[in-house]
Amino acid sequence: MSGWRDNKVSVGTALFLCVTTAAASVLGCFAATGWRTSAVEDKLREIDRIAAKQYVGDLDAEKVADYAAVGYVTGLDDQWSAYIPADQYEAYRLSSEGKGCGIGVTVITGEDSVRVSLVCDDSPASQAGIEKGDYIVGAEDLTVEKDGADAVIDAIQGEEGTEVTVSFSKEKGGTVQQATMHRAMVTQKMAWGQMLDDNIGYIRIENFHVGVADQFQQALDGLLADGAQSLVLDVRHNGGGRVKEMSEMLDPLLPEGTIMTLRTKSGSETVYESDAEMIDQPIVVLVDDQSISAAEFFAAALQEYDRATLVGTHTTGKGRAQQTFELSDGSALNLSVEEYFTPKGNNLAGVGIAPDVEVALTDAQLADFYFLSPEKDPQLQKAVEILE
């Protein structure tokens, strides 16, 4: 949840950004944490005093403060903790709450392309006719070809209610269309289902942000009502999210018992449990090395209760839960504050979970992951084979 722009630009950081304010001062960002130690405070004050007196260049206090905060968190040596600058925090907060401000798409960026991998329901993009698989070729007076993908993405981002004109094509190099949209607050599309052959229900779970449990339950109820005899639950390329949402989704799939245990530094525990009521359809869960946090614990719980067969590749191995602390200048600290454990008491940190049936994708299939049809997805095909 704390990563930023990469090969896949997440819903919360791509075309859903809203504008906030910048950071404040070098010492202020540390004072706001309430964690000051004499060593940290003394060293920062000493550096600041020397730089203020001797540095010949222009000293940008806001930039220095951000870098100092990044350095502090880096020094914790915890890959899951992160400092979030003020100008990114609002988008981060909205994303974790299952919302975003923008046109309502997720995109995959390449060296010379921006391709739509997901379109949110009832979003400005869907109303404008933009579909999964389309290529965004420009925005306003910028183009991907001349100005680059990042520049075009930045041009699409903006404040709620403002207008943006986006150029797109149905295929790479195809006829370009234009649509002018008003940026809006959009609910993320996080879980949805479809019926495969032989009454196999398939549910894709993008993340575990706020609201995904309701979307999952709606998809599950719909497939069961349509006669699904078995289920494939797909948490590949899922960066995790809220434990509460995950536990609500697991409840109808598991027998009575523990779902997950979270333990703080002081030793206090929070235990999530399922009741005795559950469906009895056979389940296969698809996992990969980008199934992180709640995604791998979702799969682990089903595996440990013998409720599902796991297919795919080994998961990441995250064993800590984070809490976000908003700082006084509008930035935030996303800090590991709890360890969490599977139903059998296992911590997955650095270990992850191994699939019951290992099936890897080729490099070409990985590059095209979000656009693979069921027939060309060997991991999904193995799941179908197991359930038939």
pLDDT bracket for residue 37 (50, 70, 90): low
Cβ proximity of 114 and 153 under 8 Å = yes
Q: Looking at the structure, tell me whether residues 210 and 261 fall in a common domain.
A: yes
Picking from 187, 213, 228, the residue at the C-terminal end of a domain is 187
Cβ proximity of 261 and 340 under 8 Å = yes
In a domain, 169, yes or no: yes
Q: Looking at the structure, tell me whether residues 241 and 368 fall in a common domain.
A: yes
Q: Looking at the structure, tell me whether residues 251 and 136 fall in a common domain.
A: no
Q: Domain range holding 34?
A: 28-80
In a domain, 1, yes or no: no
pLDDT at 110 (0 to 100): 85
Q: Looking at the structure, tell me whether residues 227 and 324 fall in a common domain.
A: yes
Q: Looking at the structure, tell me whether residues 382 and 278 fall in a common domain.
A: yes
- Give the pLDDT confidence of 54-113 residue by residue, as tens digits: 999 999 999 999 999 999 999 999 999 999 999 999 989 999 999 988 999 999 998 789
Q: Looking at the structure, tell me whether residues 100 and 63 fall in a common domain.
A: no
Structural tokens at position 74: 């880096």
Domain count, the chain: 3
**How many CB atoms are located within 10 Å of the residue 279 CB?**
13
Handedness of CA 48, 49, 52, 56 (dihedral sign): negative
- Give the pLDDT confidence of 128-181 residue by residue, as tens digits: 999 999 999 999 999 999 999 999 999 998 899 999 999 999 999 999 999 999
Picking from 187, 213, 247, the residue at the C-terminal end of a domain is 187
Long-range contacts at 122-129 (CB < 8 A, ≥ 24 apart): 122/186, 122/187, 123/184, 123/186, 124/181, 124/182, 124/183, 124/184, 124/186, 125/166, 125/181, 127/181, 128/103, 128/166, 128/179, 128/181, 129/177, 129/179
Q: Looking at the structure, tell me whether residues 96 and 204 fall in a common domain.
A: no
Q: Looking at the structure, tell me whether residues 13 and 33 fall in a common domain.
A: no
What CATH number does the domain containing 177 carry? 2.30.42.10
Beta-carbon contacts of residue 212 (< 8 Å; ≥ 6 apart): 98, 190, 191, 205, 206, 241, 245, 249
- Give the pLDDT confidence of 283-325 residue by residue, as tens digits: 999 999 999 999 999 999 999 999 999 999 999 999 999 999 9
In a domain, 98, yes or no: yes
Picking from 133, 152, 187, the residue at the C-terminal end of a domain is 187
